[in-house]
Structure formats: C-alpha cells, structure tokens
Amino acid sequence: MQEEQRYQKLKEIVQIYLPDDVSVDNITMDSNFTQELNINSANLVDIVLDVEDAFDIMLENEDMDGMQTVKDALLIIDTKLAEK
Amino acid sequence: MSRVVVTGMGVCAPNGIGLPEFTKALKNGISGIRFYEELEQLKFGCQIAGKPIIENINLNNYFTNLQLRGLNASGVLYGVIAGKDAWQDAGLPIVSEGSPDWDSGVVFGTGILGVDKFREAIYQVDDGNVRRLGSTTVIQTMASGISAYLGGMLGCGNQVTTNSSACTTGTEAILMGYERIKSKKAVRVLVGSCSDSGPYVWGGFDAMRILPRGFNANPYKASRPMSASASGFIPGSGAGALVLESLESALQRNATIYAEILGGNINSGGQRGGGTMTAPNNEAVVRCIKSAVNDSSITSKEIDAINGHLTATTKDTVEIQNWSNALGLSNKDFPYINSFKSMFGHCLAAAGSIECVATLLQFREKQLFGTINCEDVHPEISTMVDISKIPQTTIDFEPKIIAKASFGFGDVNACIIFSAYNR
C-alpha cells in the first residue's frame, strides 16, 4: 500500500469522529487529534481499534500514548506494517 | 411552593411511537403485542412481547452518526426518542454552546440499561479481548446512561439522574421531578423512564412462570387485565417522557398545559405484613393511595378515573380491593378504571411513564381509553366495581382528576394525582 493510500484510509477513519463543526478538509498531516480536530479523547480508543481493523495490525498501549497527530499515527502504522 | 404542570410529552411504545400514532392506537384499542420467532427459538414459554417498532424511525433525527456507531442499547434508543420528542413538544430550545440551562434537569429511570451491549462486552472480556471494548461500553451500560445521554443532548444544568425501583420506576421519576420543581430547586425537569427489549431482560420473568404460555398464536388476546381469564403479564419495553414545569414558567412561555400534578406519594411495604420481594403489602398500597389523595388536598370522591397498575395476573383482584379500601368507594361510586397494559403489555421500568403519558392524553382527548380483553371481567372484581366503570372501548368523558399508581418488585409503591389544568 502506498503512503498516500494509507493517509487516505486513516482520514476516512478519523472523519467519523470529528465534531459537527470540524470538516474533513481540516485534517492535515500535522493535525493534533484532540487539540486541533477537537476529537473527544475517549474516541481515540475507538480510532485505534478502527486502525487495527483497517490495517490488520495490533497497537500497544505505548503506541497509543505516542499517537498525538495524524503524522504520529501514520508513522506507527508504517512501523507495524513493516514488522509484519 | 410552585405548582407543577406537564407541558410536553413523548412516547416510544409497542403500539405507537410519537403522540399521534400512540393516541390513535389507544383510542382504537390497537395492541402492540406480537409474536417473536427469536423467543420461540430460545425455547421461551411466553413467545410474545411488546416492542416499539423503531425500524421506520429515522434515528438521525435523534442521534449523530457518531452516537449511533456501535450503539446497541435499545433502552437508550427508546429513551432518547421519547425524551427529545417531549422536549420538542414542550417547545423548549436545545442549548447549543456556552452555559447549560441551570434551571432544567433530567430524572429518567431504568431497570437495567444496554443489556445487548453488555452481552457484547461479556463475550469480548471472556475472550481476553478487553482492549477491544471501545469507548462507549460504559456509557451504554451504566444505569444513568439514559439521563446522561438526554442531559447532554439538551444541555441541562440542573440535577441529571436516573432512578430505579422496578415497575414503579417511571411513576417515581415523575414524583421526583415534581418534588424538585415544587421546592423551587428546578424550573423544568424532563422525567420518564425506559426499558430495554429482548430475551435477556424478559428471560428471568419467563423462568418465574409468571408470563402466559397459552397465547403464542394469539398475541392480541394475551394481555387481559381485570379479566377472569388473566393468566400473567406480557413483557414489554419502550419509554415514556414528560416535561414537568413550574406553572409560573409555563404561563410565561405560554406553553400548552396537558395537566397539573396535584400531589402524590411513594412508599414501601417493607416486605412485611404479607408483602414480599414480589408481592405487595396491601396495607402499604392502601396507605400510599390514601396519602397521595391527602397530599393533593382533594377527597376521593373527586377522582373521576383511575389508571391502575393492573398487570393481568390473578393479583388484579387484590389491587382493585386495595383501591376500593383506600378510596372508600365501591360499585357505582367507584371511579372509572382502565389498564393500558392490555394494549402494550407490562413495559417494566418504562410502564409507569408510558402509562402516565397515555393517562394524560385522556384529558386532551376528553375521552377514557378502553381496556381491551376484559370482556369476561373477573367475578370478584364485579362484586367491588360496577361493570359500567370498566369501559372496554373508548368512551367520551371529560375527566377532571385521574389517579395513577404503579407497584414494583421490592414491595414498592407510587401514586400520583393528576388534574385537568384549572386557571
């Protein structure tokens, strides 16, 4: 899977959890999930589960702690996919 | 002390969702009790039940897509439909941003919430997959989930809580909201209750052998309150909701007033004097009704109609005896009496609130809705109540005061006195 494809796939997941006043166009590589996209921190748990299902990987607690921005998430996904 | 009136109502019942459909069903004696193949496959003795048909409801009118994601708590669906409809019916705004409405609260009861979600969670946990539960398992399965969902959706900043007292839950919630407004601690309270659907809620009752087993092929005939052939209650589910408001606020807003709450009482028989976990202490029932009448500063003769608890078991006779003793009225002096459980079964924790919504619709319609399936009134009941006082079809009648009671497991009782609003 190409990097752009992975980014699009992640955007589709994140989009579901955006509050009504944040549009999908607001998502960039540098977006912080809770601070900038205003995603409820409880929903980060659900994003992780959706990422696991979409990429067929498993994330550990420390991976979740380091997942602040879209870029962080893509890096973790890349690492996990490389380990497979 | 504030006078308290009802200014909005919503309902999600087995025989109708929303006030227009529900009113039509009640007027025409339309039953919402149906056969469920799932219950047959699971080898239930009673394979019929009352369940709101929400398949045709656009849930996006009530929930965001995110809220609907993984939502598997039928009580939350029913409660939010009824609760938001009631709020809208009252013409009240939804707080958008900034401060909540500090004067508005929620008292919305349930017996058990999110049973199907809890089942999902149990399978995940037992498989060692606790990490896969997601973020909404707690809010869907905590009892107060329903008041939390509603309080957040509407932006209520007063007390937001959930009460639980078995089959008195809904009626108790109304009295709790009433007390809070009366004592000026709130101006408006959304009150009501919900009950989940499904085999995991109803199974325990089937196991107790208190549900009828002989009507699986004939569901509409199964719930037979006050009848000689009553053989048990039909399990139901759904939600009812009422907006209670101080009279002052209602008049200021020029709101539609369905009725006034004159008073009421809640008590328990303490599981003494004949009372048990599952049977009422009759002295407590009589005291509860009597003190509700006293609290309302009326005499029992002023009561035009009663909406009983009347579940369609052989105990209906005892309930009638208790009403007769408490009010000191019998035969032709006994008020009109009906039981809506004949049309939607016993909706458990939601029973009291759904039945109060139905009770209050009678003021607006200037009618008393008939009790179906009691063409063979129990002979012991007809010695206490003249048969003309048990309408089997809807009659034109302008009630001024209606008494409503609910009783529940744990030997708990609640009684409310409603009045048509008099300026």
DSSP B148-211: HHHHHHHTB-S-EE---BTBTHHHHHHHHHHHHHHTTS-SEEEEEEEE--SHHHHHHHHHTT-S
User: Where do the DSSP E strands lie in B156-237?
Assistant: 160-161, 188-195
| pLDDT > 90 in chain B, percent | 98
Mean pLDDT of the region B63-71: 93
B264 in Cβ contact with B292 (< 8 Å):
yes
Span between the terminal Cα atoms of chain B, in Å: 17
CB A49 to CB B65 under 8 A?
A: no
Residue B393, number of CB atoms within 10 A of its CB: 12
Dihedral pair phi/psi, residue B278, rounded to 5°: -115, -5
Interface of A with B (CB under 8 A): 16-17, 20, 42-43, 45-46, 49
Average pLDDT over all residues of chain B? 97
What is the pLDDT confidence band of residue B97, given thresholds at 50, 70 and 90?
Answer: confident
d(CA B330, CA B94): 48
In this predicted model, what pLDDT tens digit does every residue of B194-224 receive, in sequence order? 999 999 999 999 999 999 999 999 999 999 9
CB A43 to CB B66 under 8 A?
A: yes
Non-local (6+) Cβ contacts of B365 within 8 A are: B23, B27
**Radius of gyration, CA atoms only, chain B:** 20
CB B135 to CB A17 under 8 A?
A: no
CA-to-CA separations, B256 to B106, B238, B247, B260, in angstroms, rounded: 20, 25, 11, 11
Provide the pLDDT for residue B73: 98
Provide the pLDDT for residue B423: 73
The nearest CA of chain B is from the CA of A29 a distance in Å of: 23
d(CA B189, CA B184): 11
d(CA B377, CA B256): 37
B96 has a chain A CB within 8 A of its CB: no
Provide the pLDDT for residue A1: 65
Angle at B39 between CA B36 and CA B44, to 5 degrees: 135
CA-to-CA separations, B363 to A46, B16, B72, B367, B384, in angstroms, rounded: 48, 19, 36, 7, 26
- State both tokens at B420: 């048509």
Non-local (6+) Cβ contacts of A82 within 8 A are: none
On the question of pLDDT at B172 being above 80, the answer is yes
Nearest to A43 among B65, B132, B135 (CB): B135
CA-to-CA separations, B266 to B175, B292, B329, in angstroms, rounded: 8, 8, 22
In this predicted model, what pLDDT tens digit does every residue of A13-65 receive, in sequence order? 999 999 888 999 999 999 999 999 999 999 999 999 999 999 999 998 888 88
In this predicted model, what pLDDT tens digit does every residue of B130-166 receive, in sequence order? 999 999 999 999 999 999 999 999 999 999 999 999 9
Mean pLDDT of the region B293-305: 98
The nearest CA of chain A is from the CA of B67 a distance in Å of: 10
CB A16 to CB B65 under 8 A?
A: yes
- State both tokens at B104: 């508005």
**Amino acid at position A81, single letter:** L
Interface pTM (ipTM) of the complex?
Answer: 0.88
Q: How many A×B Cβ pairs under 8 Å?
A: 17
**Amino acid at position B70, single letter:** G
User: B136 to chain A: which residues are within 8 Å by CB?
Assistant: 46
d(CA B275, CA B102): 41
Place of tokens 């748990």: A45
Nearest to A46 among B64, B65, B135 (CB): B135
How do strand B4-13 and strand B16-17 relate by DSSP bridges? antiparallel
pTM listed for this prediction: 0.96
**Quick one: CA dihedral B138, B142, B146, B152, positive or negative?**
negative
User: B66 to chain A: which residues are within 8 Å by CB?
Assistant: 16-17, 43
B58 has a chain A CB within 8 A of its CB: no
d(CA B399, CA B421): 11
User: A39 to chain B: which residues are within 8 Å by CB?
Assistant: none
- State both tokens at A36: 């900038």
Dihedral pair phi/psi, residue B287, rounded to 5°: -65, -40
- Nearest partner of B350 among B197, B225, B229, B127, judged by Cα: B197
In this predicted model, what pLDDT tens digit does every residue of B238-252 receive, in sequence order? 999 999 999 999 999
Nearest chain B alpha carbon to A60: B131
3-class DSSP state for residue B150? helix
CB B134 to CB A16 under 8 A?
A: no
Nearest chain A alpha carbon to B67: A17
d(CA B397, CA B401): 12
B336 in Cβ contact with B400 (< 8 Å):
no
Residue B83, Cβ density class (10 Å: 0-12 exposed, 13-18 middle, ≥19 buried): buried
